[in-house]
Amino acid sequence: MYIFSFEKLDVWQNSRELILTIYKMTVKFPSSEIYGITSQIKRSSSSIVTNIAEGTSRNTNKDKAHFLTISYSSATETLNHLIISKDLNYIA
């Protein structure tokens, strides 16, 4: 059962699953990265769903689009962190 409108969005649901995957995955990262890439990737992936949710509460299409743009940028940032994590052999 959904309480908020954004919970119905496939993109929000998929992004939420991504966060859970990232949190489980980063547990295996070196402890020396706790304030480095581990923190960065968690924050950027959380920003995806947060901005989708916040955007749905905005009144104008321009405002909604702004938050979706931020969400997309956070998704790109997360992808970059995943590529770097692969380069560092933290993930396969």
Tokens of 15: 């992004």
Domain definitions of the chain by residue range: 31-92
Question: For the chain, what is the radius of gyration of the CA atoms?
Answer: 14
CB atoms within 10 A of CB 26: 21
The predicted-structure confidence for 31-53, as pLDDT tens digits, reads as follows 999 999 999 999 999 999 999 99
Residue indicated by tokens 């939420």: 16
Within 8 A by CB and 6+ apart from 72, the residues are: none
Query: Rounded to whole angstroms, how far apart are CA atoms 66 and 61?
Result: 8
> For a pLDDT cut of 90, what percent of the chain falls above it?
97
Instruction: Report pTM.
Output: 0.91
pLDDT digits (tens, 9 = 90+) for 2-25: 799 999 999 999 999 999 999 999
